[in-house]
């Protein structure tokens, strides 16, 4: 999967690159990271890319990506090469470091660009929402809503959305404390993914 202009439309890609709010990233030689193939049937919306992802110019090629693909029940060929998977982070660039970790995604990205890019993927039937920023925005929830509750009650958001915890190894403690995720949520996720792909 190429996360750039060939899949999302040259004009939108260059508009994003040239947008005033993104010039600071352009001066560093960074490119917007997302994938919006017109043939996509599943859309993954997650947090902003980390610095390592930004510098590698590749998304989900790490331990988190391996776990996500395992959760979804798909391999790397389907994820990267099939044109069936779209990826829209809540920010297309690494937003920088703050006092307690990475800065949150800039709201301007989802507000300005997401709807246009989603229009480029008319065959999407399942959107996977990874983490609090994606869930609170797309489920129109206040920040006080806990994603654990969203994930536990995933069925109420189907068939359009499927909320997930981030598959980062840093969430191993969360996974250990919530065994219902593996026994109940993951089988339903795999089923939803297969239905969307087929």
Task: Spell out the SS3 assignment of 112-156.
Answer: HHHHHHHHCCCCCCEEEEECHHHHHHHCCCCCCCCHHHHHHCHHH
**48-99, pLDDT tens digit by residue?**
999 999 999 889 999 999 999 999 999 999 999 999 999 999 999 999 988 8
What is the value of pTM for the model shown? 0.93
Number of neighbours of residue 38 by Cβ within 10 angstroms = 13
Q: Which domains does the chain have, with CATH numbers?
A: 5-197 (3.40.470.10)
C-alpha closest to that of 92 among 107, 79, 78: 107
Q: Two tokens at 39?
A: 């043939």
The residue assigned the tokens 């307690």 is 100
Quick check: 149 and 136 in contact, CB under 8 A?
no
State the Cα angle at 161 between 159 and 167, rounded to 5°: 130
**123-155, pLDDT tens digit by residue?**
999 999 999 999 999 999 999 999 999 999 999
The residue assigned the tokens 């993104």 is 22
Number of neighbours of residue 141 by Cβ within 10 angstroms = 15
Q: Determine the Cα–Cα distance for residues 83 and 194; give it in Å rounded to an integer.
A: 15
């Amino acid at each position: 999967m190429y996360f750039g202009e060939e899949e999302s439309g040259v004009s939108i890609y260059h508009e994003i690159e040239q947008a005033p709010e993104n010039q600071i990233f352009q001066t560093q030689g960074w490119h917007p990271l997302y994938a919006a193939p017109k043939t996509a049937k599943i859309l993954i919306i997650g947090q902003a890319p980390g610095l390592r992802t930004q510098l590698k110019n590749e998304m989900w090629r790490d331990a988190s990506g391996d776990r996500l693909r395992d959760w979804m029940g798909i391999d790397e060929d389907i994820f990267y090469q099939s044109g069936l998977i779209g990826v829209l982070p809540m920010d297309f660039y690494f937003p920088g470091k703050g006092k307690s970790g990475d800065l949150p995604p800039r709201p301007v990205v989802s507000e300005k660009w997401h709807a246009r890019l989603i229009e480029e993927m008319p065959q999407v039937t399942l959107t996977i929402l990874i983490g609090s920023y994606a869930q609170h925005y797309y489920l129109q929830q206040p920040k006080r809503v806990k994603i654990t509750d969203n994930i536990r009650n995933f069925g109420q958001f189907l068939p359009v959305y499927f909320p997930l915890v981030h598959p980062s190894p840093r969430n191993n403690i969360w996974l250990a404390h919530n065994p219902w995720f593996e026994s109940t949520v993951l089988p339903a996720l795999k089923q939803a993914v297969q239905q969307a792909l087929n």
